[in-house]
Amino acid sequence: MARPCFKIERQFPEPLAGVDEAGCAPLAGPVVAAAVVLDRERFPRGIDDSKKLDLETRESIYGRLQKVARIGVGIASVEEIDTLNIFWARMLAMVRAVEALGFEPAMVLVDGNRLPRWERTNAKPIVVGDTKCRSIAAASIIAKVTRDRIMLDHARTYPGYGWETNRGYPTPDHRRALTALGCTPLHRRSFNLVRERLAQDEQPLLPEMVAASPLSHTTTG
């Protein structure tokens, strides 16, 4: 299967920024977006949709991109996700990523079928752009590795959720941990599974549960 190339990018002026995000589906952690401007004569080989690359390959390309590409990263926090909803938090992260480039690109290609609410005409959405456009694919790698590293740091503070490997996705192991350990400040309160777990914590004890509690049978002298 063909990898992303510059076929679409060549229709537009340079410098061109590809934009993509990582972290819409997880139950915990921020959403991270990246904007990447590639030098079309000097770029790492093997760039592809980050989901198709193994960890070692993603990390390798990430390191090489840091040396030869112009990169901006934008983050929307858990609080912003819960306030705006995940869609608009994703868009906010993308806006911040382009702003973080520190200059105005001549064109911006955004993965997906919608654009953020920004006052620019030099932008175009590209459906499944991370499989077609090398610039967007590069942005997917930067966003993915950046978010993975953030979640790895959080895993040290909140052990037991498996964020070292699943990065907050609702895997069976993460669901079991959520049931057993409860919610952390990094869990997205606006997501159904988290909201349901919080509701369980808020349920009052039924009379029969209180009667069965060991504390209900203690006596005073």
Tell me which amino acid residue 109 is.
L
123-126: strand order across its sheet? 70-76, 31-37, 16-22, 107-111, 123-126
Q: How far apart are CA 30 and CA 127, in angstroms?
A: 23
Instruction: List 36's β-bridge partners, or say none.
Output: 18, 71
Structural contact between residues 139 and 48, judged by C-beta atoms closer than 8 angstroms: no
Q: What pLDDT is recorded for position 64?
A: 98
Task: Give me the tens of pLDDT residue by residue for the chain, a chain 221 residues long.
Answer: 678 999 999 999 999 999 999 999 999 999 999 999 999 999 999 999 999 999 999 999 999 999 999 999 999 999 999 999 999 999 999 999 999 999 999 999 999 999 999 888 899 999 999 999 999 999 999 999 999 999 999 999 999 999 999 999 999 999 999 999 999 999 999 999 999 999 988 766 555 544 554 444 444 43
Q: Please state, in angstroms and rounded to a whole number, the distance separating the CA atoms of residues 18 and 12.
A: 12
- Mention the CATH class of domain 9-156: alpha beta
pLDDT of residue 164: 93
Would you give the DSSP letter of residue 33?
E
Cβ contact 156:146 at 8 Å: no
> pTM (2 decimals)?
0.90
Predicted local confidence at residue 207, as pLDDT: 54
Let me know the angle formed at the C-alpha of 99 by 105 and 84, rounded to the nearest 5 degrees.
130
Q: Which residues pair with 37 in a beta bridge?
A: 17, 70
